[in-house]
Amino acid sequence: MPGIVDGRVVIVTGAGQGLGRAHALALAEAGASVVVNDIGTAAHDVASTIRARGGTALPVLGDVADWRAAEQLVAAAVAEFGRLDALVNNAGIVRDRMLVSMTEEDWDAVMRVDLKGHFCPLRHAAVHWRAIAKRGEPVSARIVNTSSGAGLLGSVGQGNYAAAKAGVAALTQVAAAELGRYGITVNGIAPAARTPMTEQVFADAMRAPEAGFDAMDPANVSPLVVWLCSERSGAVSGRMFEVEGGFVGIADGWQHGPRIDRGERWEPEELSDVVAQLVSQTPPPAPVYGAVSDA
């Protein structure tokens, strides 16, 4: 029985392990030809696993935060399969430090991989699809970006990672607005799952149970990614999905809140009461991950 992405060609970045590996396997099982990207030879291992299960896969090693490598990744997919239908931006790293201990290198490394590493493949894939659309040919393309609860709510000890993943959320919104005219949808996921990164930071929470449903299995996230890569998701764009275990939800981002307009410039002394009134009319923000409660 054909899967919902049967015949589609999908790039998955950072697919050598963790969530990316789970996405690549799930997409192949659902009928896609998968371009398995990673910086190391694990990409070959995942591609071999897909082929052993009867699927189609092409391993492409390369650093997605490198402009030329990202361009070559898109070109390799098109050269091998004659088309590209979806891009799953998954590659990411962590360099966890409290802000007062964080180095410039810690900041730059995470921004480069986690944020620029989303932009570079997205940009080259979008240029490819735009060219097709401008020729008058139909395009039903999908981009799935990977943010995080840290990017949506913040996370103590992960200022660089949280900032990069918040950037991914904003990039998703802008790309959805800009690229929809070409037949491209862009959505994001904020997953919670057991990966080599989260096992280090949240060891107890990520530990697999001895029996029963393993809520932190990264494979639990992949069905949503498969659906978002399919033609069935064409009416959905610019959304951020939270997904963990057996639940799927939509994160509702920044919205305009209450306002007070005096019709002219405020004096600084007047703003104490104004701000207090605005705060009293607004729900408190969700707590930052790892924040110490004052209670």
Please pick, among 165, 230, 233, 237, the residue that the annotation labels catalytic: 165
For the chain, the domain total comes to 1
pLDDT tens-place string over residues 187-207 = 999 999 877 666 555 556 666
Lowest model confidence (mean pLDDT) among 60-74, 91-105, 178-192, 203-217? 203-217
CA distance 12 to 20: 6
The CATH number for 191's domain is 3.40.50.720
Mean pLDDT (whole number) for 152-164: 97
User: Is residue 294 predicted with pLDDT exceeding 60?
Assistant: no
What are the two backbone dihedrals, phi and then psi, of residue 265, each rounded to the nearest 5 degrees?
-65, 140
Provide the mean pLDDT of the chain: 94
In the structure encoding, which two tokens stand for residue 275, read together?
């701000």
Q: What is the DSSP letter of 219?
A: G
pLDDT tens-place string over residues 31-46 = 999 999 999 999 999 9
In a domain, 1, yes or no: no
* Cβ-Cβ contacts under 8 Å for 23 (sequence gap 6 or more): 12, 15, 88, 90, 221, 222, 225, 226
Question: Active site includes 280?
Answer: no
| CA-based R_g, the chain, Å | 21
Please pick, among 33, 155, 161, 233, the residue that the annotation labels catalytic: 161
Share of the chain above pLDDT 90, in %: 86
Using the Cα atoms of residue 11, residue 16, residue 18 and residue 21 in order, give the sign of their dihedral: positive
pLDDT-derived band at 124, boundaries 50, 70, 90: very high
Question: Active site includes 165?
Answer: yes
Q: Which helix (H) or strand (E) holds 152?
A: helix 149-153
In a domain, 175, yes or no: yes
Q: CB–CB of 147/168 below 8 Å?
A: yes
Q: CB–CB of 182/130 below 8 Å?
A: yes
In a domain, 49, yes or no: yes
- What is the pLDDT at residue 203? 57
pLDDT-derived band at 208, boundaries 50, 70, 90: confident
CA distance 19 to 144: 13
287 compared with 199, residue with greater pLDDT: 287
CA distance 63 to 39: 6
In a domain, 2, yes or no: no
User: Is residue 17 predicted with pLDDT exceeding 70?
Assistant: yes
pTM confidence score: 0.93
Burial class (CB in 10 A: 0-12, 13-18, 19+), 183: middle
Please pick, among 33, 148, 222, 230, the residue that the annotation labels catalytic: 148
Q: What is the DSSP letter of 244?
A: E
